[in-house]
Amino acid sequence: MCHRKPGTPGVGKTTLGKELASKSGLKYINVGDLAREEQLYDGYDEEYDCPILDEDRVVDELDNQMREGGVIVDYHGCDFFPERWFHIVFVLRTDTNVLYERLETRGYNEKKLTDNIQCEIFQVLYEEATASYKEEIVHQLPSNKPEELENNVDQILKWIEQWIKDHNS
């Protein structure tokens, strides 16, 4: 069983992913960290001031672990991951004023700030997720306040328990 959490940077994917992993015993993989550790890049984007992910190498790197299952994948995009990898996809959503403060704190340049806020306004990542996976496995979760984080963790843990029951009987 695997699930992933796309969403604009700053919506709380990493916090949620790590919390879920510690409570569920599933393995947590942050694709950004993996790319840094393994140097899975294909050049540098001057405009956004960040390396460009080599998506094919990321997929190759993760494939064996994903076949085994029991993985939580954290990344802000999802259209290049094989559909067979995931049983459920959670897209985190954050109000733009909350998101703006979070990204500003991270020191994002103006272009990166504006583009990420627009991305959230236009639900770009939710639409990417529904275009990449069966609509019934894609769920949106609010991620503005600490209480929402706790609710999301509880909700996903219940889903995991149910999935395990349904697939082990």
Residue 137: name the closest of 89, 80, 84 by CA. 89
Task: Tell me: is residue 10 an annotated ligand-binding position.
Answer: yes
Residue 10: the pLDDT is 85
pLDDT in tens, 113-135: 999 999 988 899 999 999 999 99
The residues that bridge with 72 in the sheet, in sequence order, are 3, 28
Task: Tell me: is residue 14 an annotated ligand-binding position.
Answer: yes
Residue 143: the pLDDT is 94
For residues 120 and 36, what is the distance between their CA atoms, to the nearest angstrom?
25
Q: Quote the pTM value.
A: 0.90
Q: Which two tokens stand for residue 163?
A: 């999935």
Instruction: Report residue 5's pLDDT band, with 50, 70 and 90 as the boundaries.
Output: low
Task: Tell me: is residue 112 an annotated ligand-binding position.
Answer: no
Task: Tell me: is residue 114 an annotated ligand-binding position.
Answer: no
Side-chain-side CA neighbours of 44 within 13 Å: the count stands at 4
pLDDT in tens, 71-111: 999 998 899 999 999 999 999 999 999 999 999 999 998 89
Task: Tell me: is residue 106 an annotated ligand-binding position.
Answer: yes
| Topology given in CATH for the domain delimited by 13-162 | Rossmann fold (3.40.50)
DSSP string, the chain: -EEEE---TTSSHHHHHHHHHHHH--EEEEHHHHHHHHT-EEEEETTTTEEEE-HHHHHHHHHHHHHH--EEEE-S--TTS-GGG-SEEEEEE--HHHHHHHHHHTT--HHHHHHHHHHHHTTHHHHHHHHHS-GGGEEEEE-SSHHHHHHHHHHHHHHHHHHHHHHH-
